[in-house]
């Protein structure tokens, strides 16, 4: 039977949790160079990684470099490279990051865990992910995020050159991604959308189909365009943008959870944020629609001998470009 302990008014924690907290404390104390008491205040369970994120209070003897409330992020991969990604992004885009990215205050690891401590975003208690902010506020804020970030990215670019569509997509998604799970998902989406040729119609536009551009040689696959490289966030969806402020006019924002530790063609973040936002909107709409089966009616049973499909429910996991990524992380644009 697991023995239970009472700790710091934070509730009851089991033995395994106590050991884990001791481990975390050892890493923090080693980096700080002095003892510190960590009180766990509020856990955030909305991420997609194995990392555990908690708001906590650090209390030393008054001389510790870190005292007060911080965000403690603990990954069970000691080689997790988020601290590197954060360092690179904030060093390259300094003037933007100084205002818009909570600083990384401490980073350390042992053979099992990596601990990163960040400043808490925002001055008010009203800080919330853009995902849950009211639509009008978040739409205004998101276009501001995109505008300011793009300005900073262009202002501190890492050069550029001619690239084909394939080279650009592989720099973002990983070499050979079309042969892997992502390619599979793209082909499935294409099949479901009933797109067969090299183009498809979306609203009033005719757009090139990404799969056929890569799979077959055609007039688009060999074309080269000038591409600017720079520093992408790499996981810019609405859960990684925190909004602060009460009204649309005075809303502030912070970007957290930086994912890529290398330069890559720019505009990735902007396309990704747009897609993520569309998916969130779609999900909200879906929730507002009446259920397909009115209450009281049982859903139709699957035919005997056939397994019901659950397509679309499983989340794709992101693969990072080689040498660019943190460990395989969660579905980026999922609502
Ligand atoms: N610096 C911060 N300030 C305030 N809240 C934060 C901060 N960092 C993380 N959080 C909260 O924790 C959640 C998960 O953090 P995140 O770094 O995105 O982890 P994951 O990698 O699991 O997605 C965020 O959605 C946010 O609610
Ligand atoms: Mg996140």
* Ligand sitting nearest the alpha carbon of 44: 1
Distance CA 162, CA 308 (A): 47
Protein residue with its CA nearest to atom 14 in ligand 1: 47
Q: Tell me the CA–centroid distance for residue 314 and ligand 2, in Å.
A: 18
Nearest Cα neighbor of 19 from 82, 105, 113 is 113
Over residues 295-317, mean pLDDT: 41
pLDDT at 315: 31
Measure the CA–CA gap between 194 and 103, rounded to whole angstroms. 46
Q: Which pLDDT tens digit goes with each residue over 141-196?
A: 898 999 999 999 999 999 999 999 889 999 999 999 999 999 999 889 888 888 77
Q: Tell me what the mean pLDDT of segment 61-66 comes to.
A: 87
Closest ligand by atom to 74 CA: 1
* Banded pLDDT at 127 (limits 50, 70, 90): confident
Query: pLDDT tens, 198-226?
Result: 787 777 888 878 788 888 777 777 889 99
- Domains belonging to the chain, first-starting first, are 9-119 (3.30.200.20), 128-288 (no CATH)
pLDDT at 101: 96
Instruction: Flag the least confident range among 32-36, 199-203, 244-248.
Output: 244-248
Percent over 70 (pLDDT), the chain: 78
Which residue is closest in CA terms to ligand 1's atom 11? 44
Q: Where are the beta strands (DSSP E) in 60-134?
A: 68-75, 104-109, 114-119, 128-129
Q: Which residues line ligand 1 (CB under 6 A)?
A: 44, 46-49, 51, 53, 71, 73, 102, 118, 120-121, 127, 129, 239-240, 242, 256-257
Rounded to the nearest angstrom, the distance between the alpha carbon of 329 and the centre of ligand 1 is: 14
Q: What residues pack around ion ligand 2 (CB closer than 5 A)?
A: 47, 240, 257
Q: What span, in angstroms and rounded, lies between the C-alpha atoms of 54 and 116?
A: 11
Q: Atom 18 of ligand 1 has which residue's CA nearest to it?
A: 257
């Amino acid at each position: 039977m697991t023995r239970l302990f009472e700790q710091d008014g934070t509730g009851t924690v089991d033995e395994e949790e106590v050991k884990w907290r001791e481990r975390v404390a050892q890493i923090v104390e080693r980096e700080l160079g002095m003892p510190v008491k960590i009180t766990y205040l509020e856990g955030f369970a909305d991420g997609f990684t194995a990392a555990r994120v908690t708001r906590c209070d650090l209390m030393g003897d008054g001389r510790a470099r870190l005292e007060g409330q911080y965000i403690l992020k603990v990954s069970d991969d000691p080689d997790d490279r988020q601290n590197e990604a954060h360092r690179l992004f904030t060093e390259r885009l300094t003037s933007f990051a100084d205002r818009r990215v909570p600083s990384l205050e401490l980073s350390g690891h042992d053979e099992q865990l990596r601990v990163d401590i960040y400043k808490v975003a925002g001055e008010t208690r009203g800080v919330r992910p853009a995902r849950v902010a009211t639509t009008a506020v978040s739409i205004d804020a998101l276009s501001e995020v995109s505008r300011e970030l793009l300005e900073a990215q262009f202002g501190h670019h890492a050069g550029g050159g001619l690239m084909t569509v394939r080279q650009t997509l592989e720099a973002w998604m990983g070499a050979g991604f079309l042969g892997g799970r992502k390619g599979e998902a793209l082909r499935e989406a294409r099949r479901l959308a009933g797109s067969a040729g090299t183009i498809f119609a979306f609203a009033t536009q005719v757009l090139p189909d990404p799969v056929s551009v890569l799979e077959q040689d055609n007039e688009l696959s060999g074309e080269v365009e000038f591409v600017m490289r720079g520093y992408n966030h790499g996981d810019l969806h609405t859960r990684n943008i925190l909004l602060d402020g009460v009204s649309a006019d005075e809303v502030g924002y912070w970007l957290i959870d930086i994912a890529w530790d290398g330069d890559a063609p720019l505009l990735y973040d902007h396309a990704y944020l747009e897609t993520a936002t569309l998916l969130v909107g779609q999900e909200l709409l879906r929730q507002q629609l009446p259920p397909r089966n009115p209450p009281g009616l049982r859903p139709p049973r699957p035919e005997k001998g056939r397994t019901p499909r659950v397509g679309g429910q499983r989340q794709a996991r992101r693969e990072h470009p080689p040498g660019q990524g943190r460990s395989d992380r969660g579905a980026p644009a999922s609502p």
